[in-house]
Structure 1
Amino acid sequence: MSFHRFALRAAMLALALTLAACVSSTKVDRGTYVADTSHHAQSADSRIRFLVMHYTEIDEAGSLKVLTTEAVSSHYLVPENPPVENGKPVVWQLVPESQRAWHAGASEWQGTTELNAASIGIENVNLGPRDTPQGRAWQPWPPAQVDAIIRLAKDIVVRYGILPTRVVGHSDIAPQRKIDPGPLFPWKQLYDAGVGAWPDDATVKADLAGRAPDGPADVRGLQLKLARYGYDVATDGVLDERTRRVIAAFQMHFRPRDYSGTPDAQTDAIAQALLDKYMPAQPGDTDLTR
């Protein structure tokens, strides 16, 4: 056999093997059966639709122990002072993103319940509130930790296309039992970096419509706004303790200087500004929030 004929046959064999590999690459041998993956359904989306922020209330060593040995977990744990490698902060990944972590508990946001199944949870090492003779004090968030949180959160929301209104705190999705990540959590800094939602000041001012910021707001009107935005709240116009907790959670997120749970005009205007920005009424809609 001449060299040229041998080379031609070798090339044809290599091509055949390549084509066979391309065909067989759509089939996966799973031991007891073969799965053919050559057809893809269009009606599918990501499991991950929400990003939930927490604080740990204990130090890093204790947090790692609890989150890896007890019946609670999160996908990530951000240290108070993250170590740096090659100029980048190092965070702990405790659960693969493809798996469910047990961080949200009984929860609801925008009509979705049991958010463990549809979210990524980030625990952040922070001691939370401490009662002092001068009143309740909250542990601040160090700049290096905030930087790490922003880097991690931005990567997650970009990869999964998580909507701004679906970046939430534990207190947002479970306001009757949780207050983390607390009023000092840097929500505005996250927003400025492209993560999460925040109202526009000009819209808040316009929605105040001349009302005094600390003046009263219609309870049912505010309940309707908060329910439309995503909170699990009654819309009966009754200012009971459950409604106060929801209002306080909203204020802690978007108006942290005062999170008493009082339904004031500024809180009402902030809620409306968020709806104006992220959930504008469509033609033909009956907007019950105004």
Structure 2
Amino acid sequence: MKTPAFALILALLAGCAGGPQIDNSHPSASYDSRVQFVVLHYTSTDLQHSLQLLTHGELSSHYLIGAAPPTIYRLVDENQRAWHAGESEWQGRTWLNSSSIGIELVNPGYADSANGRVWYPYREEQIEALIVLLKDIVQRYRIAPENIVGHSDIAPQRKLDPGPLFPWQRLAAAGLGRWPEAGAVARAQARFAQAPPSAGWFQQQLRRLGYAVPQSGELDAPTRQVLAAFQMHYRPSRCDGQADAQTAALLSVLNGSPR
């Protein structure tokens, strides 16, 4: 014969086995997705080595896109955190592994030669595959265009990928990023050529756009490194880290802050 105490114990055990009883009838309207950013990289190596590094090493990424053919490999579920961003910051958010999806593209990156650094281009079909993947991710997570960034944008003091040959302007034309209007840049450049802005102005504008940059009021080495990262994204033909009139114009137009 079961005693009342024994019956109570059985009921408690049954509840534990089935998990807690949860009422789901009052969902909150105040929330957003964990995924706020997409970070783009190159692998600096070939496909087989990329797969080895990203699946059996300390690094990982949600997706890897091959070069030929441009196969899209899912390596980490989007609900899980991948180790692709490292020490990073964008728009004041730090350590972006927790809030981003990482996409690696198979590309050698660059080679240093006697004639200088040589960058490797991306294949057309690889970029087409990336655009398809990005459109799907952006739609599902409602990611803002300015939050599709390169590793060099979020870690400008230590990273160069996806490099100056990455087609940011083409992605922006597909709605997957921002690109300043050429006429507005030309007009702003003429103004800045007559009255160059201060080092502090450049630092403020870079931070407003999203970059982690010193606010020292001086064009120190870390600031020039951030300028070079910005130029690699928006003026890849010359990413020398100089605070010139064209760079000022690009920043001004992107931030909507004419001077």
1:164 offset after TM fit, Å? 1.1
Instruction: Specify the alignment match of 1:237 in structure 2.
Output: 217
Instruction: Specify the alignment match of 1:218 in structure 2.
Output: 198
- Tell me the amino acid that sits aligned with residue 135 of structure 1: G
Q: 1:157 aligns with which of 138, 144, 152?
A: 138
Instruction: Specify the alignment match of 1:114 in structure 2.
Output: 95
Instruction: Specify the alignment match of 2:48 in structure 1.
Output: 61
- Tell me the amino acid that sits aligned with residue 62 of structure 1: H
Bigger drift between 253-262 and 145-154 goes to 145-154
Identity of aligned residues (%): 51
Is 1:184 the counterpart of 2:158 in the alignment? Answer: no
Partner SS, residue 22 of structure 2: strand
- Tell me the amino acid that sits aligned with residue 225 of structure 2: R
Instruction: Specify the alignment match of 1:79 in structure 2.
Output: 66
Partner SS, residue 34 of structure 1: coil
Counterpart contact for 1:82–1:91, Cα < 8 Å? no
Counterpart contact for 1:190–1:196, Cα < 8 Å? yes
1:220 offset after TM fit, Å? 1.1
Bigger drift between 67-76 and 215-224 goes to 215-224
Give the distance between the partners of 2:78 and 2:51, measured in 1 at CA. 18
1:269-288 alignment, distance < 5 Å:
269-276=249-256
Q: 1:264 aligns with which of 213, 225, 244?
A: 244
TM-score by length of structure 1 reads 0.80
1:157 offset after TM fit, Å? 1.2
Q: Deviations over 1:53-72 (max 9, x none)?
A: 00000110000011001111
Q: Structure 1 unaligned runs (5+)?
A: 1-28, 84-89, 281-288
Give the distance between the partners of 2:20 and 2:62, measured in 1 at CA. 32
Assess, with a 3 A threshold, how the Cα gap between structure 1 residues 38 and 266 changes in structure 2: closer, same or farther: same
How many equivalent residue pairs?
A: 244
Is 1:204 the counterpart of 2:191 in the alignment? Answer: no
Partner SS, residue 185 of structure 2: helix
Give the distance between the partners of 2:69 and 2:97, measured in 1 at CA. 26
Q: 1:97 aligns with which of 62, 65, 78?
A: 78
- Tell me the amino acid that sits aligned with residue 231 of structure 2: Q
Partner SS, residue 36 of structure 1: coil
1:235 offset after TM fit, Å? 2.0
Give the distance between the partners of 2:130 and 2:41, measured in 1 at CA. 11
Q: 2:119 aligns with which of 138, 141, 164?
A: 138
- Tell me the amino acid that sits aligned with residue 255 of structure 1: R
1:237 offset after TM fit, Å? 1.5
1:211 offset after TM fit, Å? 4.3
Rg: which structure is higher?
1
Give the distance between the partners of 1:255 and 1:156, measured in 2 at CA. 26
Give the distance between the partners of 2:59 and 2:112, measured in 1 at CA. 26
Q: Deviations over 1:147-178 (max 9, x none)?
A: 11111112111221111111100000000111
Over aligned residues, Cα RMSD in angstroms?
A: 1.9
Give the distance between the partners of 1:176 and 1:189, measured in 2 at CA. 26
- Tell me the amino acid that sits aligned with residue 65 of structure 1: Q
TM-score by length of structure 2 reads 0.89
Q: Deviations over 1:169-191 (max 9, x none)?
A: 00000001111100000101111
Is 1:50 the counterpart of 2:37 in the alignment? Answer: yes
Counterpart contact for 1:128–1:181, Cα < 8 Å? yes
1:35 offset after TM fit, Å? 2.8
